[in-house]
Structure 1
Amino acid sequence: MGVVEDKKISFRIYIVAFAIFVMACLIAIKLTNIQWVEGDYYRQLAKDRTVKNFDIPANRGNVYSADGSLLATSIPNYTIRFDALAPKREDFDDNVQDLADSLAVMLGQQPAAKYYHDLRKARTNKNRYMLVAKDLSYTELLRIKSFPLFNKGAFKGGIITEQKIIREHPIGKIAKRTIGYDEERDVGIEGAFAQYLKGKNGRRMMQKIAKNQWKPISDLNEVEPVDGYDVVSTIDVYIQDIAHHALLKQLEYYEADHGCVVVMETKTGYVKAISNLGRATDGSYYETINYAVGESSEPGSSFKLAGLISVLEDQKIDTSKVYDTHGGDVAYFGRHVRDSHKGGYGKISLARGFELSSNTVLVQAVYESFKDNPQRFVDRLNGFGLNKKLGVAIKGEGRPYIPQTTDKFWSRTTLPWMGFGYNVSLTPLQTLTFYNAVANNGEMVRPLFVKEIKEWDRTVKKFDKEVMNPKICSQETLNKVRAIMENVVKKGTGKKLYSPHFSMAGKTGTAQVNYAKGGKTNGDMYYSSTFVGYFPADEPQYSCVVIVNKPHVAKGYYGADVSGPVFRRIAQKIFTDVPSSDRVKAIDKDIKKQDQLYAVYYDKQNKGKTDVIPNTIGMSGMDAVALLGNMGFKVQVIGMGKVKKQSLKPGQAFSKNQSIILELS
């Protein structure tokens, strides 16, 4: 019995030993497989989970105005953290008190004892990602990296630096919709020229030290970021300021829903100013939608210029032909066209009908000229380019609409209604471009928002005049319509705007726009008040369109009253404050001035003492804002132009988030 029992025990031992042997073999095989066969895979897997590359955002290029003032700039913002296990024990003990003292002096947020306690606690708790400071400027970063312990770098000192870029707009919300916001929103110049502005991101290897916490492996980047190019826009800050505030004043007085203004240089198509303001629920106005580029609607009387040119080019009617206004009411196929002046204007010439914006005169002229062949009128409008988008760089351009005789919606009343600006649709910028062609001796140029791309003082790309149509009509027709548009201001619907000191030419417009689908009731309609033209009348240098939508009817809604004063204010300020002849002659000198402003800015930024208040007197206000903002100041600006006075004396020490007031001339 004992022998049998011993044999059973031995058998069991052999089985267990064999099982252990088999398991050992399998483990050996698996280890060998992991080490030699799948080793590379698992090593890469471990590395991917604990070490990976992070993008280092490149500094986005600046956007400048035509005179070199900053419109948009990127300011680096830094966060400092501490890896408490990185320094050696003796280095930590020798420097922790001095580091705490330095942090207390610089940051001023808590006493040195508190910083000392926090640093010691981080060491004890093996904290490898302790927050030290955030929202630091570049100059503050350089200062904190020089502190005891931190000056030993990431490996020996434990300092962790994190950077993010903040996009600033020194002139605030003025023209913000056109300038754009940042790289994440495809809007305005920022969006249209992102390929130049964004640069190329760098890469930095970082190691995972805790959940969602990563620290740099080295002080050096694997791939250094390449900064983006600078974009020099066509915007003139001075004209932009005039246009913005002139429009804002009218919108506030008339309690209008929204409006826009665009000022364009006649010969080049450079947009010198553009403002788009919409009304908020609290009654204030701000830029939310680029109405000038994107809002396509019925232009009303401002479209009569296209009809006038068409009938004159057809050579069947001259400006002297007389029309009976029929008491201000003519009918076509049961639908009535009425003049705004009750009772009409009697019998007047075509030229006078345009000057007084008579609907009945212009409708009769267009209908009589083209009723037998409406396609000929449509071909004229298409030939002007009014049926196509302008193709501007800024995205979101509204689609124009010129009815075609083949459209299913074409009817017997389409032609006469087109004669006074209905059944068609244009954006404000498209309307301005057509008027600008008349001012530019018939040459239609594409509106441009950027004049060049620069890398420091090197021009990467220039954007010169782009001709869309070398001659929209004959010189004879141009001479006639230009004389008539000048008379609109002298003795027509725009006579309230006339000034003996400077000449203007243009056209008023008051359109009823469908406010809701259908437009069958008065509640579905609102007025759109327009003035579009150019100045000086004899040698045009600037063209301008002003549109105010949905003004308070009780206060007024005619284009001459609502939009005209904005146009007049812009022309007046340019003529009286900065003579337009001097401005045009100085266009080629912008680059030199801009380079000087670059030099001043970067000299103060890189060579000046970063621990004292800089002297910004004489600097462009926009550059001064960027410089001071980068140093950590809270900047308040009064006025426009160059800095004539600053509230803090240069050369003195300052603290983070200290306020400074700049007075600009």
Structure 2
Amino acid sequence: MGVEDKKTSYRIYLVAVAIFVMALLVTIKLTNIQWVEGDYYRQLAKERTVKDFTIPANRGNVYSADGSLLATSIPNYTVRFDALAPTKENFSKYAQDLADSLHVMFGKTSNFYHDELVKARKHNNRYFLVAKGLSYTEYLRVKSFPLFNLGAFKGGIITEQKIVREHPIGRIAERTIGYERIGHSGENLEVGIEGAFAKYLNGKDGRQMMQKIAKNHWKPISDVNQVEPVDGYDIVSTIDVYIQDIAHHALLKQLEYYEADHGCVVVMETKTGYVKAISNLGRNTDGSYSETVNYAVWEAQEPGSTFKLPVMVAMLEDKKIDTSKVFDCHGGDITYFGRHVRDSKKGGYGKVSLARGFELSSNTVLVQAVYESYKDNPKQFVQHLNDFGLNKKLGVSLKGEASPKIPQPSDPSWSRVSLPWMGFGYGLSLTPLQTLTFYNAIANNGEMVRPLFVKEIKEWDKTIKKFNKEVINPKVCSQGTIDQVKAIMLNVVKKGTGSKLYSPDFSMAGKTGTAQVNYGAGKEEMYYSSSFAGYFPAENPQYSCIVIIHKPQVGKGYYGADVSGPVFKRIAQKIYTDVPSTNEVKKLDKKIKKQEALYASYDTKINKATNAVPNTIGMSGMDAVAMLGNMGLKVQVIGMGKVKKQSLAPGQAITKNQTIILELS
């Protein structure tokens, strides 16, 4: 008996010791967690339950030169409900009032909303969806509803914001206005003005502390952001909406008629280099056209006959030849080192002067002139082209500019035919914008300016940065040469290849071009590129313009004067007819009162916007579309310009997804 008691005592002592050791180990571990590794575990717990979320800053707007909206950010809100946040007393007191308010705004019955709110609380739903796709005005209204007006902690309202980028003028100039976003593979896609000036438009993001709740959802810890976002700056582009509309539709009409593959048009202000319009349209598989590639900036190709202008300027500058010198076209077909150079007219033009050969775009005349002038010193000719800046990029602000190619005598690829081939625009490559810049320099009496797409960067009414004229070359050639080639280009339209475009009502000067693309790859792959480059009015140039159309249906026509020339004429004609005064060109460096007034008017109307239909009469159509869209209305637009009539009366209550029709002057 005593032995058994003794064994039992040993077992009790052993268990007691084991419990003591375990308690000691637990105490040591707790002490270690609390004091030694405490900071690590507290930080880990915080990271898993509390997190900093980025609040994207409002991206700045992009405006046209006259103050109309080209791109703007419209916030979209989603409202959810944390059904466990309100106290039992508050929920019972305000749930029915909240349901009534939701019924008035969204249309479903009060009973439906009340039942859903009760069900959410019963099932501990901390992320119940109330509404999504709300405009800022709608969000403010929901936020003011009973219960929700108590805030996130007491009322349970959860707000999520998403920014949507809108282009009020639709797809016109879409590629030039551009975008800046993340691609499918995580790459940063930066296109057009939006991409090039993203650092100004983006602003600075804010931060908000969020707490993890059920089902991996997060809710704000407080109604106040840790760091408030700072809105981006606004961009005022050089684009003129009216000229852009003319250029876009003139190009589209011609592409559709000739069933062409793609084309582009650029209109530039002669003195400043401001690009007033740029349209790039490519054919889709269904036969429609849209902007997918900025051909004017990106696509470098053999220019063909439009390159005869710098060729002529180089020869006249060196006084190698006189415009009155007569050349024999040799039946429209001459041969250099086994390669044929042919005129577009079968049989050629007989014996004509150099000036007349240019007017008729005779390949045989220009090639003979160039070869005779520089065959012993081709480097002298090429150096002129280099001095013109044709061998370098323009350095425009938009990304993706192609590099030009001007063959150099020192290149391994230089051959005996390189010089004569350059005489009619082959064996080299330029982008449409690079070609236009040279034509603009001649129109501008020799001063070559860089094409600009942005006039200024603004923060409300304060100018942050201004982009004035940038001179690339103060004088590309002598005034005597300029006067001669200007007279010849005027005759191109009056009595040369562009004679079909001549009008006694307004003057134009320029050069037609018809290039064979992929001419060495066989008949099936070869196609025509039709172009026209020039300026207007001829006597006092205000605008320069280039039009290039690729792969027109040959059966309908392919010469530059027939395919691209009418687009040029349409643009010049519309500007002359509808905007006869050119006095504004002299005042481009000054603030435009109309633009400043539009800024102030739009801002005032936005700040005063309520849940009632605003009065948009007299507003720019683009501004009215943006404001009404921001208020949750669906907008239909008839015409262009300013609002002259609206289908919903000012002051009328707005209902969700209601449609308003705007008639523009």
- The answer (yes or no) to whether the contact 1:262–1:544 under 8 Å persists in 2 is yes
Aligned position for 1:454: 458
Aligned position for 2:185: none
- The answer (yes or no) to whether the contact 2:70–2:167 under 8 Å persists in 1 is yes
Q: CA deviation at 1:360?
A: 0.3
TM-score (normalised: structure 1): 0.98
Q: Which moved more, 1:133-142 or 1:181-190?
A: 181-190
Aligned position for 1:75: 74
Aligned equivalents of 1:375, 1:448: Cα separation in 2: 32
Correspondence 1:542-581 to 2 at 5 A = 542-581=543-582
Aligned equivalents of 1:348, 1:72: Cα separation in 2: 53
**TM-aligned CA distance change 1:451 to 1:365, over 3 Å:** same
Aligned equivalents of 2:150, 2:616: Cα separation in 1: 35
- The answer (yes or no) to whether the contact 1:261–1:544 under 8 Å persists in 2 is yes
Aligned position for 1:531: 532
Asked if 1:28 corresponds to 2:32, the answer is: no
Deviations 1:15-35 (A, max 9, x none): 332222111111101101111
- The answer (yes or no) to whether the contact 1:276–1:289 under 8 Å persists in 2 is yes
Deviations 1:107-140 (A, max 9, x none): 11x2111110110011111111110000101111
Q: CA RMSD in A?
A: 1.1
Aligned position for 1:398: 402
Aligned position for 2:41: 42
Aligned position for 1:651: 651
Q: CA deviation at 1:191?
A: 0.2
Aligned position for 1:636: 636
- The answer (yes or no) to whether the contact 2:65–2:237 under 8 Å persists in 1 is yes
SS in 2 for 1:226: coil
Aligned equivalents of 1:654, 1:316: Cα separation in 2: 75
Aligned equivalents of 2:449, 2:231: Cα separation in 1: 33
Letter in 1 for 2:164: I
Q: CA deviation at 1:583?
A: 3.6
Aligned position for 2:377: 373
Q: CA deviation at 1:588?
A: 4.6
Aligned equivalents of 1:130, 1:604: Cα separation in 2: 34
Q: CA deviation at 1:417?
A: 0.6
- The answer (yes or no) to whether the contact 2:72–2:166 under 8 Å persists in 1 is yes
Asked if 1:481 corresponds to 2:489, the answer is: no
Aligned position for 2:57: 58
Q: CA deviation at 1:581?
A: 1.6
**TM-aligned CA distance change 1:503 to 1:21, over 3 Å:** same
Asked if 1:616 corresponds to 2:616, the answer is: yes
Aligned position for 1:14: 13
Q: CA deviation at 1:663?
A: 1.2
Deviations 1:537-572 (A, max 9, x none): 111000000000000000000000000000000000
Aligned position for 2:300: 296
Q: CA deviation at 1:222?
A: 0.4
Letter in 1 for 2:157: I
Deviations 1:310-335 (A, max 9, x none): 11111120111111110000100000
Aligned equivalents of 1:581, 1:252: Cα separation in 2: 32
Aligned equivalents of 2:590, 2:36: Cα separation in 1: 69
Q: Which moved more, 1:408-417 or 1:527-536?
A: 408-417
Name which of 331, 334, 354 aligns with 1:330: 334
Deviations 1:628-659 (A, max 9, x none): 00000111112111111112121211211111
Aligned equivalents of 1:12, 1:345: Cα separation in 2: 125
Aligned position for 1:431: 435
- The answer (yes or no) to whether the contact 1:183–1:198 under 8 Å persists in 2 is no
Deviations 1:264-321 (A, max 9, x none): 0001000000000001111111100000110011100001111111111111201111
Deviations 1:592-651 (A, max 9, x none): 21121111112111124x121111110000110011000001111121111111121212
- The answer (yes or no) to whether the contact 1:444–1:470 under 8 Å persists in 2 is yes
- The answer (yes or no) to whether the contact 1:183–1:190 under 8 Å persists in 2 is no
Name which of 120, 124, 147 aligns with 2:118: 120
5+ residue gaps in structure 1?
none
Deviations 1:487-539 (A, max 9, x none): 10010000000111111100000000118xxx431011110000000001111
Correspondence 1:90-239 to 2 at 5 A = 90-108=89-107, 110-184=108-182, 185-239=189-243
Aligned equivalents of 2:381, 2:4: Cα separation in 1: 118
Name which of 418, 439, 445 aligns with 1:441: 445
Aligned equivalents of 1:95, 1:182: Cα separation in 2: 44
Deviations 1:447-491 (A, max 9, x none): 000000000000000000000001111111111111101110010
Aligned equivalents of 2:141, 2:398: Cα separation in 1: 41
5+ residue gaps in structure 2?
183-188
Q: CA deviation at 1:590?
A: 5.2
Aligned equivalents of 2:25, 2:417: Cα separation in 1: 92
Letter in 1 for 2:266: V
- The answer (yes or no) to whether the contact 2:468–2:589 under 8 Å persists in 1 is no
Q: CA deviation at 1:41?
A: 1.1
Letter in 2 for 1:365: A
Q: CA deviation at 1:582?
A: 3.3
Q: CA deviation at 1:198?
A: 0.4
Aligned equivalents of 1:586, 1:475: Cα separation in 2: 26
Count residues in correspondence.
659
Letter in 2 for 1:164: K
Name which of 339, 356, 360 aligns with 1:356: 360
Aligned equivalents of 1:69, 1:236: Cα separation in 2: 9
- The answer (yes or no) to whether the contact 1:267–1:440 under 8 Å persists in 2 is yes
Name which of 505, 511, 516 aligns with 2:509: 505
Aligned equivalents of 1:440, 1:13: Cα separation in 2: 109
- The answer (yes or no) to whether the contact 2:62–2:234 under 8 Å persists in 1 is yes
SS in 2 for 1:174: coil
Deviations 1:423-447 (A, max 9, x none): 0000000000010000000010000
Aligned equivalents of 2:639, 2:591: Cα separation in 1: 22
- The answer (yes or no) to whether the contact 1:613–1:653 under 8 Å persists in 2 is yes
Letter in 1 for 2:489: M
**TM-aligned CA distance change 1:583 to 1:565, over 3 Å:** farther
Deviations 1:131-152 (A, max 9, x none): 0000101111111111110011
SS in 1 for 2:213: strand
Aligned equivalents of 2:620, 2:56: Cα separation in 1: 28
Letter in 2 for 1:648: L
Aligned equivalents of 1:403, 1:99: Cα separation in 2: 75
Letter in 2 for 1:166: V
SS in 2 for 1:211: helix
